Amino acid sequence: MTRNEELTALREAMSRVPKPGIAPEARRAAWDAAAAFLPDPPDVSFEGARLGGIEATIVRRGAHLNAGHVLYVHGGSYTAGSLATHRAFLASLAQSTGMVLLAPWYRLAPEHPFPAAVDDVLAAYRAAIDMESKNLLVVGDSAGAGLALAMLMRARDAGLPMPKALACFSPWLDLSTDRVPTAAEMERDFVLDWPALVASAQAYLAGADPRDPLASPALGDWTGLPPALIQVGGAELLLADAFAGASAASRAGVFVTLEIFPGMPHGFHLLGHALTDAARALERASQWLTAQCRTQQA
């Protein structure tokens, strides 16, 4: 199928699924159920673990390449996300990179508001450094990309070593939600529910200042952060966040690569079963991550 045909088929399929609304419990249940039918790539193992006291999953390809470790920070609007929602994508990333993935399941809002998730991811990062100090990379999607950046800012300020590289997929980097998207923009991004996104930001912040760089890392200082890859869909409501992140990186002298995939909605990376461009983005990201390890070893 062509890109437009794939997008049309996906849009129609999603239109038949009732929207869960803005209640976190309903969204968690709906996302877990929606992901249940996604197949795992073969020859991938999942092992429960704890990273710095945080519940986590270690994902390995059967014959992993000893190429390094990836700390993967999942998305879910700070209020959802689990092994169920990310299992298939984590398996695909482990397959394509040959690396060992470390996925911490940080505390979620509204039960645990800002900065609990940042604290948890930092604790997991400290543990990951102990496991793999040379070839450690950090990857995050959506809210997870924002958490990854906030965590690295805190790690930098604490004098911790930086990872080899950072990859951000469909990043949510500014929680101010001041700009209301147009109806046409919301129509193009048929995955992201703007009212639910705003509600999630409010639940996570719980009165904290959305301009705090640890909540909105697009507004923070990226000096000293590792080389970054930002991949985003051209139809995303959060496209501006990707541009803001790339600009912040450039201002700080951080090497950044921004890749825009035309027509793709928010979180398209997790839809590799339905979108050819999602599989292509994963392949490109895997090649970039591997190259960063090799380049910095040379």
236 noted as active-site residue: yes
pLDDT value at residue 110: 97
Q: What CATH number is attached to the domain comprising 262?
A: 3.40.50.1820
Residue among 296, 294, 269 nearest 280 (CA): 269
User: Rounded mean pLDDT of the chain?
Assistant: 93
Q: Record the tokens describing residue 255, joined without a space.
A: 């090497």
Q: Give percent above pLDDT 70 in the chain.
A: 96
pLDDT value at residue 148: 99
- The mean pLDDT of 185-209, rounded to a whole number, is 95
Among residues 69, 77, 236, 286, the one annotated as catalytic is: 236
Q: Per-residue confidence at 15, pLDDT binned at 50, 70, 90?
A: confident
pLDDT value at residue 67: 79
Phi then psi dihedrals of residue 249, to 5 deg: -65, -45
Q: Per-residue confidence at 8, pLDDT binned at 50, 70, 90?
A: very high
Q: Per-residue confidence at 64, pLDDT binned at 50, 70, 90?
A: low
Does any domain span residue 292? yes
pLDDT value at residue 298: 47
Q: Which domain holds residue 140?
A: 45-297
pTM of the complete model beyond 0.85: yes
12 noted as active-site residue: no
Among residues 74, 86, 266, 269, the one annotated as catalytic is: 266
- The mean pLDDT of 6-28, rounded to a whole number, is 81
Q: Per-residue confidence at 103, pLDDT binned at 50, 70, 90?
A: very high
- The mean pLDDT of 180-209, rounded to a whole number, is 94
Does any domain span residue 13? no
**What is the residue type of 79?**
T
Please state the domain count of the chain.
1
74 noted as active-site residue: no
Strands, sheet with 256-261, edge to edge from the N-terminal-most edge strand: 44-51, 54-61, 100-104, 69-73, 136-141, 166-169, 228-233, 256-261
pLDDT at position 18 over 80: no
Does any domain span residue 28? no
Rounded Cα distance, 241 and 39, in Å: 31
Does any domain span residue 39? no
Does any domain span residue 49? yes
pLDDT value at residue 296: 56
Does any domain span residue 73? yes
Query: What is the per-residue pLDDT across 224-278, written as a single tens digit (0 to 9) for each?
Result: 999 999 999 999 999 999 999 999 999 999 999 999 999 999 999 999 889 999 9
> Is pLDDT larger for residue 209 or for residue 134?
209
Q: Per-residue confidence at 133, pLDDT binned at 50, 70, 90?
A: confident
Q: Per-residue confidence at 206, pLDDT binned at 50, 70, 90?
A: very high
Does any domain span residue 35? no
- The mean pLDDT of 102-127, rounded to a whole number, is 99
Among residues 77, 142, 170, 216, the one annotated as catalytic is: 142
Query: What is the per-residue pLDDT across 265-296, written as a single tens digit (0 to 9) for each?
Result: 999 999 988 999 999 999 999 999 999 988 75
Does any domain span residue 92? yes
Distances (CA, A) of 52 to 103, 173, 249: 12, 25, 28
